[in-house]
Amino acid sequence: MTSATRDRGRITTLLAFDFGERRIGVAVGQTISASARPLGVVTARAGKPDWTKLDRLIAEWAPDLLLVGLPRHLDGTEHELAARVTKFANRMRQRYRLPLQFVDERLTSYEATQRALPGEALDPYAAQVILESWLHDNGECA
């Protein structure tokens, strides 16, 4: 762990994931600047991610915390995809041995459509919204 990724034991670098059966959106952020930005998409086949690409992202960004969007319906009930998301998150925990938290991702797709340019993948923007939501909920934003 480098001093660039830790600030006296505080979480500073985060990676957020918006899981999908074919694409997983990824965003990076930090608590120091309370900022997040979309990174891109990791492809998946039938919900199985490209672990090699995820390995590279984890190595490159050395996150202190992983965030995974947990889908829920607007009324708060569990979405049909929630079990697959939980399975993905558990595999990430085992593989990377990093702390992981779920973030309610209701309305992230709507917000992502407001941010993405026409023709751009929404997934990384949804991951950015997930990360920003965590920053806000954890008092990291002004």
The yes-or-no verdict on residue 8 having pLDDT over 50 is no
Q: Which residue has the higher pLDDT, 28 or 81?
A: 28
pLDDT in tens, 105-131: 877 787 887 898 888 889 999 999 999
Contact between 127 and 25 (Cβ < 8 Å)? yes
Query: What are the structure tokens assigned to 112, written together?
Result: 């992502």
Q: 92 pLDDT exceeds 70? A: yes
Average per-residue pLDDT in the chain?
88
**Model pLDDT for residues 43-56, shown as the tens digit of each residue:** 999 889 999 999 99
- Residue-level pLDDT at 131: 96
Residue ranges of domains in the chain, CATH in brackets: 10-137 (3.30.420.140)
pLDDT confidence band for 2 (50 / 70 / 90): very low
Task: Check whether 95 has a pLDDT greater than 80.
Answer: yes
pLDDT score of 110: 76
Average the pLDDT over 66-87 and give the result: 87
10 Å CB burial of residue 82 (0-12, 13-18, 19+) is middle
